[in-house]
C-alpha cells in the first residue's frame, strides 16, 4: 500500500474492555508508527462471528481505503487459517478464515485476491496459541499499512475455499415479508434481513403512517407475539416509547421503539423469525 497520507488501520474484536485491544494497538504502532488506528468496536458479542461480520459490513464502507483487522476468533490456535483479502476498492482485510471477513469484502468492491497468512517474517517472533490478534493479525495488518506488499503475506488461496457465513435472506410472499432479526443494536433497535426495496416489492412503496402487522415467532414453545406498527421515515414522527418499522441508515429494514429499547421489551433475540403483513 503506497501512500502520502498516514495509513488507516481499522480494528474490530470481541476482546472487551480489558486491555487486549491496546496490546494489539501497541504492536501495530511498533511496526507502523504513523498509522491512524480506528477502533470499529471491541464490544462485539463474544464469539459471535456473524455479529462481527454484520458490524464490519455496516462500518467499513464509510472508512477510508486502508487495512482492516477483524478478530472474532473462537477457533484461535486450531487448524483454521488466517487470511488476507484484497478488495476491489483497494483495502486489505486481515483476520481468521471463519466467515468474519468475506461479507465486508463484498461491500468494498468484492474480493480481488485472497491469501493465507503464512509468512512468519510478518508475525511476532513467538506466536501463542490463544492470542493471534496480537501475534499474527495485528503485525500482518501493520506491515501492510507500513508499505509491505499484499503478496508478501502468504500464498494465494482460492476465494471459493473461504469459510462463508450466510446471512438469512428475506422471503417476499403474497402480501407478506418473512424476515429475521440479524442484529440487535445497543439502542435495542432490531435490524432485520432485507431492505426498503423488499418492503416495496411485497407491499408497494410504503408511506409514513401506513400500518403493518408484525409477528415475532415464539421460541421454545412460547406463543407468537404480534403488534400493529406504523411505517416511519424517522424517529421523531412516533410518540416516545411507541414502536415503528423503518429503513435504517444502511438501507436495511428495522424495527424500533422510539427512544426506548424494543429488544428488551420484546425479549427479542438474534435469528428470531419476523413476519410482516399489512394491517
In the stretch 100-119, what mask flags binding to a copy of itself with x, by CB under 8 A?
Answer: --------------------
Instruction: Identify which range of 69-77, 89-97, 159-167, 210-218 contacts a copy of itself by CB under 8 A.
Output: 69-77
Sign of CA dihedral 275, 245, 48, 259: negative
Q: Determine, following the binding rule CB under 8 A, whether residue 23 of this chain makes contact with a copy of itself.
A: yes
Q: Please select the residue that binds a copy of itself; options are 2, 9, 13, 41, rule is CB under 8 A.
A: 41
With CA atoms as reference, report the closest residue to 231 among 219, 216, 248, 215: 248
What whole-number distance in Å separates Cα of residue 46 and Cα of residue 40? Answer: 15
Binders in 166-195 for a copy of itself, by CB under 8 A: 185-187
With CA atoms as reference, report the closest residue to 258 among 242, 269, 272, 245: 242
What whole-number distance in Å separates Cα of residue 138 and Cα of residue 64? Answer: 18
DSSP secondary structure, 86-122, as one string: EETTS-EEEEESSSSSHHHHHHTT-EEEEEE---GGG
Residue 15 or 212 having the CB closest to a copy of itself: 15
Q: Please select the residue that binds a copy of itself; options are 13, 58, 69, 141, rule is CB under 8 A.
A: 58
Q: Please select the residue that binds a copy of itself; options are 116, 215, 235, 242, rule is CB under 8 A.
A: 235
Q: Determine, following the binding rule CB under 8 A, whether residue 241 of this chain makes contact with a copy of itself.
A: no
Q: Please select the residue that binds a copy of itself; options are 129, 160, 166, 174, rule is CB under 8 A.
A: 129
Residue 221 or 236 having the CB closest to a copy of itself: 236
Q: Determine, following the binding rule CB under 8 A, whether residue 259 of this chain makes contact with a copy of itself.
A: yes
Instruction: Identify which range of 76-84, 150-158, 173-181, 221-229 contacts a copy of itself by CB under 8 A.
Output: 76-84
Q: Determine, following the binding rule CB under 8 A, whether residue 161 of this chain makes contact with a copy of itself.
A: no
What whole-number distance in Å separates Cα of residue 103 and Cα of residue 210? Answer: 33
Report helix, strand or coil for 244.
Answer: strand
The CA angle 242-190-261, to the nearest 5 degrees, is: 45
* Least Cβ distance, residue 91 to a copy of itself (angstroms): 12
Check if the beta carbon of residue 184 is closer than 8 Å to that of residue 213: no
Instruction: Identify which range of 101-109, 152-160, 170-178, 235-243 contacts a copy of itself by CB under 8 A.
Output: 235-243
Q: How far is CA 188 from the centre of its chain?
A: 17
Q: Which residue has the cell 483497494?
A: 90
Catalog residues that contact a copy of itself under the rule CB under 8 A: 5-6, 8, 10, 12, 15-19, 22-23, 25-27, 29-30, 33-34, 36, 38-43, 46-47, 55, 58-59, 62-64, 74-78, 80, 128-131, 134-135, 185-187, 233-237, 246, 248-249, 258-259
Amino acid at each position: 500500500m503506497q501512500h502520502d497520507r498516514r495509513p488507516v488501520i481499522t480494528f474490530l474484536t470481541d476482546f472487551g474492555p480489558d486491555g487486549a485491544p491496546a496490546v494489539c494497538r501497541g504492536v501495530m504502532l511498533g511496526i507502523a508508527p504513523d498509522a491512524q488506528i480506528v477502533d470499529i468496536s471491541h464490544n462485539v458479542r463474544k464469539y459471535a462471528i456473524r455479529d462481527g461480520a454484520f458490524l464490519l459490513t455496516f462500518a467499513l464502507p464509510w472508512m477510508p481505503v486502508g487495512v482492516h483487522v477483524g478478530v472474532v476468533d473462537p477457533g484461535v490456535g486450531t487448524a483454521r487459517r488466517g487470511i488476507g483479502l484484497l478488495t476491489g476498492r483497494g483495502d486489505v482485510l486481515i483476520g481468521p478464515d471463519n466467515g468474519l471477513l468475506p461479507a465486508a469484502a463484498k461491500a468494498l468492491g468484492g474480493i480481488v485476491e485472497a491469501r493465507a497468512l503464512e509468512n512468519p517474517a510478518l508475525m511476532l517472533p513467538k506466536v501463542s496459541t490463544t492470542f493471534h490478534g496480537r501475534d499474527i493479525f495485528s503485525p500482518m495488518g501493520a506491515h501492510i499499512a507500513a508499505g509491505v506488499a499484499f503478496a508478501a503475506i502468504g500464498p494465494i488461496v482460492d476465494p471459493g475455499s473461504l469459510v462463508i457465513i450466510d446471512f438469512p435472506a428475506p422471503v417476499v410472499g403474497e402480501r407478506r415479508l418473512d424476515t429475521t432479526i440479524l442484529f440487535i443494536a445497543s439502542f435495542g433497535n432490531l435490524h432485520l434481513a432485507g431492505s426498503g426495496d423488499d418492503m416495496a416489492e411485497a407491499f408497494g412503496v410504503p408511506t409514513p403512517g401506513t400500518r403493518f402487522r408484525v409477528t415475532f415467532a415464539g421460541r421454545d414453545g412460547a406463543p407468537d407475539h404480534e403488534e400493529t406498527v406504523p411505517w416511519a421515515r424517522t424517529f421523531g414522527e412516533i410518540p416516545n416509547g411507541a414502536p415503528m418499522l423503518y429503513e435504517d441508515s444502511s438501507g436495511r429494514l428495522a424495527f424500533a421503539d422510539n427512544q426506548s429499547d424494543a429488544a428488551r421489551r420484546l425479549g427479542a433475540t438474534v435469528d428470531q423469525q419476523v413476519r410482516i403483513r399489512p394491517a
